[in-house]
């Protein structure tokens, strides 16, 4: 189990050391002729794939184990990234995105449950936020390296080369996953629930526990901030005439902010408490969007690190909140709902903001992003307030499983 910790870090390293990070939007717009609206629209089948497969994939992990599902996820990533650099037509890119969606649906929730249950098997589950945060710090550090290396490589060769090399790097994550030790934390005397029962129990748990339900919805609200980080930063740099070879350098502070967020997550929870921290997060996202909308300057890119800090911070904090309130045999399934809600939020909101940027202005898209976050966060936080930080649900989740 102890080896699972450093292997978990290595898995994240190879999966996120991707040289296409700084240039993929530029690749699709320059090399493949996509508009920004089309870039966001082609993601819809990707997110729909996640919505359809997220719960079944996580239930497979709860039923048959974390390791085989993570192996499958890494293999899908390898195939998708490699063929992303080869695909030429719209339909070929769409097929690649579908394979990518399968990989994400298998990864999300499962990797969180894998490391939590590995720690629980050692009696160290209270270290989850710190270990999981370090995992995200490794992932973000790898993204920084990929961002710094990918753009100069693209300028020296072409926009396809960094993508194809990234496929080989993702294969390293597949090899690491083959060496994982499956964590066994369930009572050996208990009958293992069926695949269908896991899904049913998880649905009832979300329905009956407001703390679980509202934290998943909260993750969806924070997801809207990722639209700026993922889709708008590279066009923002192009608009302000940053050279292709330098776009990686300009994106590095945003990635570094993510590393700080991942490493500081457990300290922020300890020092601020869950309630204050969760209330501050949407305020920062709204503030970042307002800065981008109201300040037409290359220096407004300061907003991207702020937004990314919150987006990355939401990963360990929300999953820790859920892990402590969900039984082991449902953990991957319930935590995976954060990825499902992410996809459900992005399907309408990302194309909307992309269309606004193409048809109106970037500022209009930024204003819309800030308004959506503010309008969704206020009522949600009011509903969550009576349950936020509540320990009753946590005790119930740890004491007994959901009814069969």
Q: Give tens-digit pLDDT for 110-168.
A: 888 898 889 988 888 888 888 888 887 888 889 888 888 988 898 888 888 999 999 99
pLDDT recorded at residue 278: 92
pLDDT (tens, 9 = 90+) of the chain, 404 residues, equals 889 999 999 999 999 999 988 888 888 888 888 887 778 778 788 888 877 887 788 778 878 888 999 999 999 999 999 999 988 888 888 899 899 989 988 987 788 889 888 998 888 888 888 888 888 788 888 988 888 898 889 888 888 899 999 999 999 999 999 999 998 755 444 455 555 666 676 777 777 788 888 988 899 999 898 888 888 888 888 788 777 777 777 888 888 888 888 888 888 888 888 888 999 999 999 999 999 999 988 888 899 999 999 998 998 888 888 878 877 667 777 777 787 788 888 888 888 898 898 888 889 999 999 999 999 999 999 988 887 754 444 444 443 444 33
pTM over 0.85: no
For 196-199, which contacts have Cβ atoms below 8 Å and span 24 or more sequence positions? 197/404, 198/59, 198/62, 198/63, 198/329, 198/330, 198/333, 199/55, 199/56, 199/59, 199/333
Calpha distance 344→341 (Å, rounded) = 5
Q: Any idea where the domains of the chain sit in the sequence?
A: 2-182+196-399
pLDDT of residue 274: 84
HEC assignment per residue over 300-331? HHHHHHHHHHHHHHHHHHHHHHHHCCCCHHHH
Find out whether 144 and 251 touch, Cβ atoms under 8 Å: no
- Among 278, 303, 338, CA closest to 58: 338
Whole-number pLDDT of residue 403: 39
Q: Contact, 331 vs 113, CB < 8 A?
A: yes
Structure tokens at 385: 């307030």
Q: What is the DSSP string of 378-399?
A: HHHHHHHTTTTT-SHHHHHHHH
Q: Give the residue carrying structure tokens 């859920």.
A: 322
Nearest 5°: the CA angle 202, 204, 205 is 65
At 192 the pLDDT is 53
Give the CATH H-level superfamily of domain 2-182+196-399: MFS general substrate transporter like domains (1.20.1250.20)
């Amino acid at each position: 189990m102890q080896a699972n910790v450093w292997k978990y870090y290595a898995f994240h390293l190879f999966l996120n050391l991707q040289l296409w990070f700084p240039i993929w939007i530029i690749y699709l717009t320059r090399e493949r002729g996509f508009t920004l609206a089309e870039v966001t629209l082609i993601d819809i089948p990707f997110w729909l794939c996640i919505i359809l497969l997220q719960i079944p994939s996580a239930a497979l992990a709860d039923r048959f184990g974390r390791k085989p599902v993570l192996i499958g996820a890494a293999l899908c990533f390898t195939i998708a990234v490699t063929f992303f650099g080869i695909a030429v037509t719209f339909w070929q890119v769409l097929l690649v995105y579908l394979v990518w969606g399968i990989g994400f649906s298998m990864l999300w929730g499962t990797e969180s449950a894998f490391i939590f249950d590995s720690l629980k098997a050692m009696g160290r589950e209270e270290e989850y936020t710190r270990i999981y945060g370090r995992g995200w710090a490794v992932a973000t550090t790898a993204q920084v390296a990929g961002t710094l290396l990918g753009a100069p490589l693209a300028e020296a060769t072409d926009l396809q080369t960094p993508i194809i090399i990234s496929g080989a790097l993702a294969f390293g994550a597949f090899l690491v996953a083959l060496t994982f030790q499956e964590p066994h934390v369930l009572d050996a005397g208990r009958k293992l629930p069926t695949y269908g029962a896991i899904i049913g129990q998880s649905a009832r748990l979300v329905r009956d526990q407001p703390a679980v339900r509202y934290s998943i919805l909260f993750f969806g609200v924070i997801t809207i901030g990722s639209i700026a980080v993922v889709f708008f930063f590279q066009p923002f740099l192009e608009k302000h005439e940053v050279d292709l070879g330098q776009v990686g350098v300009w994106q590095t502070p945003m990635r570094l902010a993510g590393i700080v967020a991942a490493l500081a997550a457990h300290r922020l929870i300890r020092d601020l408490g869950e309630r204050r921290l969760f209330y501050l997060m949407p305020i920062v996202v709204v503030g970042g969007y307002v800065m981008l909308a109201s300040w037409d300057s290359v220096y407004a890119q300061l907003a991207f690190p702020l937004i990314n800090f919150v987006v990355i911070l939401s990963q360990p904090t929300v999953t820790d909140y859920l892990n402590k309130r969900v039984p082991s045999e449902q953990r991957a399934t319930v935590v995976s709902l954060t990825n499902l809600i992410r996809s459900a939020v992005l399907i309408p909101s990302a194309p909307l903001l992309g269309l606004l940027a193409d048809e109106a202005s970037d500022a209009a898209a930024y204003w819309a992003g800030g308004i959506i976050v503010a309008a969704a966060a206020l009522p949600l936080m009011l509903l969550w307030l009576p349950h936020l930080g509540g320990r009753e649900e946590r005790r119930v989740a740890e004491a007994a499983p959901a009814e069969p």
